[in-house]
A and B are shown apart, each in its own frame.
Chain A
Amino acid sequence: MTMREKIEEAAARYPDQRSAIMPALLIAQRERGHLPGPVLEEVADILGVERIWVYELATFYTLFHTEPVGIFHLQLCDNVSCMLRRSDDLLRHLEEVLGIKKGGTTPDGLFTLSTVECLGACEMAPVMQVGDDYHGDLDMARIDALLDRLRATVRQATGADLAAAGPQGE
């Protein structure tokens, strides 16, 4: 299905097209990686709604990214339950091994590092979401192993050396 077809299918669930803006933005972000102005306008045109309605949702809800993010968006929870299980140490470790600060993206475009509010998986704190997946009961060794696995996924997918991959979404 094209992006337009997916959005139209989602819109059929609502009596009002405006309700379909959120699902449409989630679909568009999955297709395009992030949501720059032209994509927001495309979504508004598909649904036939005011562009400002689309802009205001894209900038209000934290899961929408109007700026590019890395192939792997590392979203470390640092709310209370994870903080009590030393998420602070994990953040410092991630900043060190990736060579970036919270909010930054590695120069190869692989990793963006963010902290997020509670992911609703406190039974396995400290927790980090990467893409669709939750990773729990983390410590530094498990984080290192996870980063290695993620790098290997990209190597397999591209068949190329990471250094040659180049930055994403620029």
Chain B
Amino acid sequence: MFEPVLLRNVDVPDGHLLATYEAGGGYQALAKALREHTPDEIIDLVKNSNLRGRGGAGFPTGMKWSFVPKRAGKPKYLCCNADEGEPGTFKDRIIMERDPHQLIEGMAISAYAIGAETAYVYIRGEYTLAISRLEQAIAEAHAKGYLGTRILGSDFSFVVHIHCGAGAYICGEETAMLDSLEGKRAQPRLKPPFPAVEGLYASPTVINNVETLACVPHIVARGPDWFRGIGPDKSPGPKLYCLSGQVRKPGLYELPMGIPLRELVEDCAGGPLPGRKLKAVIPGGVSAPLIPERGLDVGMDFDSLAAAGSMLGSAGVIVIDDSTCIVKVATRIIEFFHHESCGKCTPCREGLNWVVKVLRRVEAGQGAPGDLEQLEALCKGIFGNTFCALGDGAAMGLRAALAHFEHEFVAHIEERRCPFH
């Protein structure tokens, strides 16, 4: 029987308060880390746990930390990526609203491991409740000595600041986030240098997602073997899944990594709405290529979904039923990427503008023969030709829609109308 750990406090009354968090054993992992482990030992624990980043890319967290130079001669920074903008994703918001101390404890242990004394939480400006809960939690943690100078009698000092975003999806890309934190327009940087060596203010910087950081206290408290024992060995741990769209019980679910997508949609979330049939599922936010109903037996982990031609991404699972036009969904997704393109790379900025025009005319019944070839040519021109993954995500998603539901696109063009209207 799987026991939720990341969500254990979210439905507890006053789960966001320090007293509640402490009553459930909160901050004991931080005390243990400072008392029993060197920073390098913490990095090893996290490496051995096989924790992979929950923001979408799935990069091994312990390895990312180990890239930070030991003697930099500069301050080091930890940045928490709380700019949760991937459509279909709401897990980080719920952690911050209802159990912010779990994040703060994870940040303190992570900062100790990499030698950072300052962290910035880059959080969506829209998340006003999460912002106020986090502010309150930081103040409480300071007052109790879990943050500040010489934490719990150790030599480790650490402060956390909140930095509110202002509505730019691209800030979820870690180097764009760093530019934004430096007070610039958010545009991805050329890599290398990687942030671990030259990040915020050209100093060594680690950027981790909220859920990734929330896993850290549990790994320290229960050990890496416990973590690796949940789900697939190469992609293990408890995982938050965001269920939304045309499904009976939308919501946030914590289950082992690797659970079959079908089980998640049909059993946990109650399946399609009354009288409807499942048509397709987007498994990891709109950057993840959709999977048609017949493919739903895939496991929800980084490697299984990659092998199936999609990705785990942010685990924002969007369910689409048979009443919905895939051309309309694809158009809306590309409109989103076009709106959020930062404008730095021409293939993304201009290419997506062109894709939107073609998709809108196809959806409106004004598509022309050759439009589908045009779309593929545009995808080819965007994919792999940009600084960051925004354009890639758009192209991959559209290619999957074209591959699995070509007949719907063709019907729009041949019938000169949307068959769903």
A residues adjacent to B (C-beta < 8 A): 13-23, 25-26, 49, 53, 56-57, 60-64, 78-81, 83-85, 116-125, 129, 132-134
Task: Flag if B186 contacts A60 (CB, 8 Å).
Answer: yes
List chain B residues, Cβ under 8 A from A123: 90, 242-244, 250-252
Contact with A along B152-191 (1 / 0, CB 8 A): 0000000001011111110000000000111111100000
List chain B residues, Cβ under 8 A from A124: 250
Residue among B87, B252, B332 facing the most chain A CB atoms (10 A cut-off)? B87
Task: Flag if A26 contacts B245 (CB, 8 Å).
Answer: no
Q: Is B283 an interface residue (CB 8 A)?
A: no
Residue among B167, B201, B282, B328 facing the most chain A CB atoms (10 A cut-off)? B167
Select one of B124, B201, B324 contacting A120, CB under 8 A.
B124
Contact with A along B321-334 (1 / 0, CB 8 A): 00010001100110
A134 to B128, CA, bound (A): 9
Task: Flag if B185 contacts A56 (CB, 8 Å).
Answer: yes
Q: Is B246 an interface residue (CB 8 A)?
A: yes
List chain B residues, Cβ under 8 A from A118: 85-89, 336
Q: List the 7 closest pairs (A to B, CB-CB), nearest first.
A: A18-B183, A61-B166, A122-B244, A62-B167, A118-B87, A63-B167, A81-B244
A16 to B182, CA, bound (A): 8
Known: A26-B164, A57-B183. A80 touches B329 (CB 8 A): yes
Task: Flag if B166 contacts A62 (CB, 8 Å).
Answer: yes
Select one of A14, A16, A49, A60 contacting B168, CB under 8 A.
A60
Select one of B93, B165, B167, B244 contacting A125, CB under 8 A.
B244
Could you list some 19 contacts between A and B, CB below 8 A?
A19-B183, A20-B183, A22-B163, A22-B166, A49-B183, A57-B183, A61-B168, A63-B125, A79-B286, A80-B318, A84-B245, A85-B245, A120-B127, A121-B90, A122-B242, A122-B245, A123-B90, A125-B250, A129-B126
Taking CB as reference atom, which chain B residue is nearest A134?
A: B129
State the interface size on chain B (CB cutoff 8 A). 53
Known: A15-B201, A122-B90, A123-B251. A117 touches B169 (CB 8 A): yes
- Of residues 254 through 305 on chain B, the ones whose CB sits less than 8 Å from some CB of chain A are 282, 286
A116 to B242, CA, bound (A): 20
* Shortest beta-carbon distance from A157 to chain B in Å: 20
List chain B residues, Cβ under 8 A from A134: 129
Task: Flag if A22 contacts B183 (CB, 8 Å).
Answer: yes
List chain B residues, Cβ under 8 A from A22: 163-166, 180, 183
List chain B residues, Cβ under 8 A from A80: 87-88, 245, 282, 286, 318, 329, 332-333, 336
Contact with A along B229-258 (1 / 0, CB 8 A): 000000000000011111000111000000
List chain B residues, Cβ under 8 A from A19: 163, 181-183
Task: Flag if A25 contacts B166 (CB, 8 Å).
Answer: yes
B residues adjacent to A (C-beta < 8 A): 84-90, 92-93, 124-129, 161, 163-169, 180-186, 201, 242-246, 250-252, 282, 286, 316, 318-320, 324, 328-329, 332-333, 336, 339-340
A80 to B280, CA, bound (A): 13
A116 to B126, CA, bound (A): 11
List chain A residues, Cβ under 8 A from B243: 123
Taking CB as reference atom, which chain A residue is nearest B92?
A: A120
Helix, strand, loop or mixed for chain B's interface?
Answer: mixed
Residue among B90, B186, B242 facing the most chain A CB atoms (10 A cut-off)? B90
* Shortest beta-carbon distance from B89 to chain A in Å: 6
A14 to B182, CA, bound (A): 9
List chain A residues, Cβ under 8 A from B201: 15-16
Task: Flag if A117 contacts B244 (CB, 8 Å).
Answer: no
Taking CB as reference atom, which chain B residue is nearest A118?
A: B87
List chain B residues, Cβ under 8 A from A23: 163-164
Task: Flag if A13 contacts B87 (CB, 8 Å).
Answer: no
Taking CB as reference atom, which chain A residue is nearest B286?
A: A80
A30 to B363, CA, bound (A): 40
List chain B residues, Cβ under 8 A from A49: 183
List chain B residues, Cβ under 8 A from A117: 85, 87, 169, 336, 339-340
List chain B residues, Cβ under 8 A from A53: 183-184
* Shortest beta-carbon distance from B240 to chain A in Å: 12
List chain B residues, Cβ under 8 A from A62: 166-168
Task: Flag if A79 contacts B332 (CB, 8 Å).
Answer: yes
A56 to B187, CA, bound (A): 13
Known: A122-B242, A122-B250. A63 touches B166 (CB 8 A): yes
* Shortest beta-carbon distance from A23 to chain B in Å: 7
A25 to B180, CA, bound (A): 13
Taking CB as reference atom, which chain A residue is nearest B166?
A: A61
Known: A26-B164, A120-B84. A18 touches B184 (CB 8 A): yes
A61 to B340, CA, bound (A): 10
A17 to B245, CA, bound (A): 42
A34 to B51, CA, bound (A): 43
List chain A residues, Cβ under 8 A from B89: 118, 120, 122
